[in-house]
Amino acid sequence: MNEATVPVKRSGGLTAVAILNLVFAVLGMLGGAALYGMNKDTDQHAEQADQLERISERQRADMTPAEAQINENLVKGMADQMRNHSPAVFRWMFAAGLSGGLLLFASGIGLLGMKRVTGFHAALAAAVALIACGVIAVLRLGFLFWGIPMLGAVYAIVMGLLVLFVFRPVLTR
């Protein structure tokens, strides 16, 4: 029997990565839609920052001095970002995140079917887009807003390395 007629079995790890790609793609695109919705009306941000500071002041009485200081620093950082945010940064993050999410979804389907273009290449392109989203967040947003983009970037790095070095032989046949 020659090698071309032997069916290639998909490994459990490849299936797991494919399903994680599908789940994270949907969650990321929903989060991106929420981010877009939150930053659509920028006139309310200064008012929301003032409201956040007023609520924090009322809660200070129930805190220890150390807790009050930490709370004040967190609220000040969040309020400053709300007042001085850059809608362009969120648009760039939305564009990078949306393209990464769409590519992640396509790669999940491609990885399930063990396809070269939609599995292997879309996974690597999704990794690049999600890493770009994380880099934009780190360079342009405050530390408090790095969480989700950095989680996406770390997952993209791990997934890209797995696809590139571990699953590549299966996906390039």
- Model pTM score: 0.68
What pLDDT shows up at residue 143? 67
Q: H helices then E strands: how many in the chain?
A: 7, 0
Question: pLDDT tens across 10-49, in order?
Answer: 678 888 888 999 999 998 888 777 767 766 666 677 777 8
| Pairwise CA distance, residues 19 & 109, whole Å | 8
Name which of 41-45, 69-73, 139-143, 158-162 the model is least confident about.
Answer: 41-45
Domain boundaries, the chain: 10-39+86-171, 44-84
Question: pLDDT tens across 137-154, in order?
Answer: 888 776 666 777 888 888
Q: Which of 22, 28, 17 is nearest to 171 (CA)?
A: 17
